[in-house]
Structure formats: structure tokens, C-alpha cells
């Protein structure tokens, strides 16, 4: 009974989730996004370093060469296929650290 009386008057820690949404912390690691240059070209050069460093083997990248008539990135290569399996991803952020062009970012989205 003493525990109940002690905790009845404390501030409640629970929130009504769907109606009240809590802002994530600034360093929260959520979904990944591939960033682009201001001119619209992809930053990703298809080097596959992110896939190589991923401990969960959740990233699949297939790089392709840019053609002279159609350019997707400023470099020689671009990521033709870029897939992240979120069922395997552990959201560690190693892929973001390994990216040499800073094309891969983690947002604070969690829904």
C-alpha cells in the first residue's frame, strides 16, 4: 500500500501515443535517405562501401557507369539499385560513417 500511495502523486511518464507525439532526440538514428546535390544529381557513386561495412548485411547496392548522354551523378558511377532491408537493419549508423561522399544520411523518422 505504501508503494501505491507514494506513486499516485508523482508525475506520469506515459503519453497517449497516437494523439500526443514525442519529438525524437537530436541524435536519434531513424530511417536512411540518399541525399542529392543542389543540381539534382545523386551524391551516391555506387562504391558499395556502405554494404561492405554493414554488420547485418542489410544493404544491397549495384553500381553502374554513367553514360555521356545521361548522367545520374557527377562521378563516373552511380547506384543503379540501392536497397536497405529494414527487417535486418540494426540502425547502427556505420553505413553513414563509411560513405565517402556523405550521400547516406539517417533521419529522425521512426514511423
Q: Is residue 7 part of a domain?
A: no
Q: Give the length of the chain.
A: 111
Q: Is residue 71 part of a domain?
A: yes
CATH number at residue 43: 3.30.70.3270
Q: Is residue 88 part of a domain?
A: yes
pTM, two decimal places: 0.76
Q: Going residue by residue through the chain, which has 111 residues, state the pLDDT in tens, using 9 for 90 and above.
A: 888 888 888 888 788 888 888 888 888 898 999 999 999 899 999 999 999 999 999 999 999 998 888 889 888 899 999 999 999 999 999 999 999 999 999 998 877
Let me know if 91 is exposed, middle or buried by CB neighbors in 10 A (0-12, 13-18, 19+). Answer: middle
Q: How many domains does the chain have?
A: 1
Distance CA 111, CA 106 (A): 14
Domain that holds residue 71: 23-106
Give the residues across from 105 on adjacent strands.
33
Amino acid at each position: 500500500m505504501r508503494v501505491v500511495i507514494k506513486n499516485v502523486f508523482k508525475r506520469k511518464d506515459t503519453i497517449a501515443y497516437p494523439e500526443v507525439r514525442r519529438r525524437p532526440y537530436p541524435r536519434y538514428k531513424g530511417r536512411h535517405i540518399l541525399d542529392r546535390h543542389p543540381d539534382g544529381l545523386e551524391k551516391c557513386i555506387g562504391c558499395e562501401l556502405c554494404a561492405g561495412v554493414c554488420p547485418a548485411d542489410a544493404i544491397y547496392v549495384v553500381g553502374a557507369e554513367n553514360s555521356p548522354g545521361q548522367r545520374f551523378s557527377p562521378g563516373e558511377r552511380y547506384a543503379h539499385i540501392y536497397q536497405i532491408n529494414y527487417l535486418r537493419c540494426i540502425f547502427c549508423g556505420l553505413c553513414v560513417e563509411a560513405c565517402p561522399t556523405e550521400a547516406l544520411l539517417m533521419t529522425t523518422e521512426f514511423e
